[in-house]
Amino acid sequence: MPIMRSLVISSIMLVVLVTTLKAQTANESMAADFSGTWFPAGFARRSPDPLPFTEAARNLLAQYETEFELTDDPGRFCIWPGMPRALWGAPFVVEIIHRPQDVTVYFEGYGMYRKIYFADHNPPEPILPTAMGHSIAHWEQDGDQAILVISTTHLLDYPYMNRLPTSSSATVEERWRLENREGEDGEFNRYVVAEATLIDPQVYTEPVQITATAMHRPDLNVLEYNCSRTLWEEYLMERGLQLPDLDSLP
């Protein structure tokens, strides 16, 4: 009997091991690798256009437009656009580092940084709302296409009414995929396509769809983007201050 019991337990453990390995293999075969440097292929598209503001949000927009000028732009003061506005569209390089446990995105514009955690790798709990929010991802299969599905919550509010405003209750659902497209020169190039759905009932009467595409550009690097230096220089000018010129020293 002890021998038989040991054989049964061993068989069960073997079945569990094989099942786990099959699941891991299936997940790995489903996955795509988004690693690399990318450059936006035009501006992101969104619909509907114009934005479907609620009546209360339209009133805020009207008030905003009477009180704020075009130069009163948060970007001038280094305010991160955050999600979903950060999706590649502005003409800056984006670098993606894709690991089994997470995806890290570095945006040259504003020096922004985003972390996307995979649900099956013990992701951390959100602590505070942030411009990029808390993003959890998993894989889905669409035919022979691997789709990275990302859910983002815990976003800071973005009350700039002329720049796709969002409340702190907004959520974003994304679907990323890779595509090979033939260019005019007959060469095929790789693209990452992100389709996002913004859901924010406090601001919009229906979901807002955003599509952003970036082309693989291994010849490019992420450069330093120092927005705060300009603010510092403006402050020095207002104070009539001039910093020492160390390069002029003998």
Q: What secondary structure does DSSP assign to 69-84, as a single string?
A: -TT--GGGGT----TT
CB 94 within 8 A of CB 88: yes
For residue range 28-75, list pLDDT tens digits in order.
Answer: 445 799 999 999 999 999 999 999 999 999 999 999 999 999 889 999
Which region holds residue 7: left if phi is over 0, alpha if psi is between -120 and 50, else beta?
A: alpha
Is residue 129 within 8 A of residue 154, CB to CB? The reply is: yes
| Percent of residues, the chain, with pLDDT higher than 90 | 78
Beta bridge partners of 211: 45, 195
Q: What pLDDT shows up at residue 159?
A: 97
Write the pLDDT tens digit of every residue in 124-160: 999 999 999 999 999 999 999 999 999 999 999 999 9
82 close to 71: Cβ distance less than 8 angstroms: no
Q: List the domain boundaries for the chain.
A: 32-238
Alpha-helical (H) ranges within the chain are 2-30, 55-67, 227-239
Q: Give yes or no for a cis peptide into 244 (omega within 30° of 0).
A: no
> Can you give the pTM of this predicted structure?
0.85
Return mean pLDDT, the chain: 90
Residue 87's pLDDT is what? 93
pLDDT band at 91 (very low <50, low <70, confident <90, very high): very high
Cβ count within 10 A of residue 69: 7
- pLDDT single digits (tens) 147-193: 999 999 999 999 999 999 999 999 999 999 999 998 888 889 999 99
- The whole-angstrom separation of Cα 193 and Cα 161 is 26
Give the max Cα distance, the chain. Answer: 93
Whether the pLDDT of residue 221 is over 80: the answer is yes
Name the band, by pLDDT with cuts 50, 70 and 90, for residue 227. Answer: confident
Sign of CA dihedral 164, 168, 169, 170: positive
Q: What is the pLDDT of residue 16?
A: 42
Give 46's strand partners. Answer: 210
The token pair at 182 is: 């033939």
pLDDT above 80: residue 13: no
What residue type is assigned to position 61 of the chain? L
CB distance 197 to 25 below 8 Å: no
